[in-house]
Structure 1
Amino acid sequence: MTLALTLLCLLLLIGLKIGSVFYIILKLEKGNLNELQSFKELQRNISLQVMKHKNISKENMILSITLQNIATELCRELYKTQKEHKCKPCPEKWLWHEDTCYSLPDEAETWQNSERRCSAWNASLLKIKSESVLEFTQSQRFNYVWLGLSPRQKRDDYMLLKEKINSSDWFTGNTDHLNDKYCYYTDRTYVYDTTCTRKEKFMCDKLADRVKIESTLMINVPEGTG
């Protein structure tokens, strides 16, 4: 009887210990579950904030692009009457067409020196790669102006300038050893070649800067008005 009671007490004690351990584990797991739910909620809130920020950034980008387009178009209108308006994205006395700046014909130089002069302005010799640029240059009535076409070893027949628009001959190489080569120039609607050491006028072209929004959209209000 005594042995049986002792074993029963031991079993009860073991049961209490196991129950206590199970309770502690259950409590810990519940706490972990609450923490996991809190983490997921925090993660969800962060995701919502990120999405909101992305939407705001996208709206700001669209607004910025819209303002830039408005400023550019307004500057083009101002440029029609004020060639040197402060909004113009080209250097002073350079012409502005689409997204490119064009220098006015300068004094006569050899083809090589002309290319070097243009490079010093972060530009290159005149290239005509589209109908729009062709119409623009022809409207300016430029004649005897070097073109940025690659020099050749042999003479070539003259041709219409528009035939060179989609040519792969637009200059991309170096300007060394041109004494025995022929370079191209344009006379309004035609392209001719001549020795590269001959002196002709030259034009440069380069990518226009972005129109500054503040220089176009900000209107100076005279003092004393309101």
Structure 2
Amino acid sequence: MQAKYSSTRDMLDFDGDTFMSEWSRTSSTTQRPEAGHTEHRCSPCPEEWKWHGDKCYRFCKESKSWQGCEYFCIAENATMLKINTQEVLEFAMPQSYSEFFYSYWTGLSRNGSGKAWLWTDGAPYSSELFEIIIDFTSLRSRDCVTILNGKAFSKDCKELRRCACERRAATVKPESLHSFSEPLHGGDG
């Protein structure tokens, strides 16, 4: 038996939520993950990444220095989190709420007290979008920015914090789902 589809819509039931092949109609269905889980079989983001807009975001549990997080993100083919629009702000800040007070490094830093805050790509920080709360409890430099409980804080770049990375989401095209138009069983039949 072969399952052929002329469009992505043919692969979905009437509500667009459940994929059902000819084979699966007689055995089982593959449904999207539970509510709140943003990944599914055709996700433009890798596992452990959250899809929002045209980007994928990863909020990691490993703690590293700011530079360690920068290297971590680069190794993931990504950059550190950049909060430069209201839309990204509204997505990223809720991710920073934690019952254990874990904060996440962003890609925002400066080259010494009194210098301009810059994102890792060199773009300037806009104070109209969010305020950076200066941590005066530390006697060390406070030149890197973390987010925690919906707020941004300047911290010592050597402190260990969790990493927040972003990368462009992959484009999922119907033609990239070629395996659905191929025979379900090998051979001639």
Q: Which has the larger radius of gyration?
A: 1
- 8 Å CA contact retained: 1:151, 1:196: no
What SS class does the counterpart of residue 119 from structure 2 fall into? coil
Say whether the 8 Å CA contact 1:89–1:211 is kept in structure 2.
Answer: yes
One-letter identity of the residue aligned with 1:203: A
- Kindly state the Cα deviation for residue 182 of structure 1 after the two structures are TM-superposed: 2.0
Point out the structure with the larger helix share.
Answer: 1
Superposed displacement of residue 89, structure 1: 0.6
Q: Which residue of 2 aligns with 1:93?
A: 48
List structure 1 runs of 4+ shifted beyond 6 angstroms.
Answer: none
Report the equivalent of 1:105.
Answer: 60
Name which of structure 1's ranges 86-95 and 142-151 shifts more when overlaid on structure 2: 142-151
Give me the whole-angstrom Cα distance separating, in 2, the residues matched to 1:147 and 1:115. 9
2:79 to 120, 124, 129: 124
Q: Over aligned residues, Cα RMSD in angstroms?
A: 3.7
1:191 match: 152
CA distance in 2, matches of 1:86, 1:190: 34
The equivalent of 1:136 in structure 2 is 91
2:171 corresponds to 1:171: no
What is the CA deviation profile of residues 101-160 of structure 1, one whole-angstrom value per residue up to 9, with x for unaligned ones? 01122311000010001001110111111111111123334451101013331179xxxx
Amino acid paired to 1:89: P
| C-alpha deviation, 1:100, in angstroms | 0.2
Distance between the aligned counterparts of 2:150 and 2:84, measured in 1?
Answer: 14
Task: State how far apart, in whole Å, the 1-side matches of 2:117 and 2:110 are.
Answer: 12
The TM-score, its normalising length taken from structure 1, stands at: 0.49
Taking the aligned partners of 2:117 and 2:155, their CA distance within structure 1 comes to: 20
Equivalent position of 2:20 in the other structure: none
Q: Following the alignment from structure 1 to structure 2, what is the Cα–Cα distance between the partners of residues 135 and 216? A: 32
With structure 2 as the length reference, what TM-score do the two structures score? 0.58
Q: How many aligned residue pairs are there?
A: 136
Instruction: Give the unaligned 5+ runs of structure 1.
Output: 1-66, 69-73, 157-166, 174-178
Trace 1:1-226 onto structure 2 (pairs within 5 A): 81=35, 83-142=38-97, 144-154=103-113, 169-172=118-121, 182-214=143-175
The C-alpha deviation readout for 1:16-50, integer Å capped at 9, x for no partner, is xxxxxxxxxxxxxxxxxxxxxxxxxxxxxxxxxxx
Asked if 2 retains the 8 angstrom alpha-carbon contact of 1:87 and 1:215, the reply is no
Counting aligned pairs with the same residue, the percent is 32
Q: Give the letter for the 1:147 counterpart.
A: T
Separation of aligned partners in 1, 2:34 and 2:85: 22
* Distance (whole Å) between structure 2 residues aligned to residue 152 and residue 193 of structure 1: 12
Higher relative contact order (CA 8 A, sep 6+): 2
Structure 1 or 2: larger strand share? Answer: 2
- Counterpart CA distance in 2 for 1:183 and 1:172 is 14
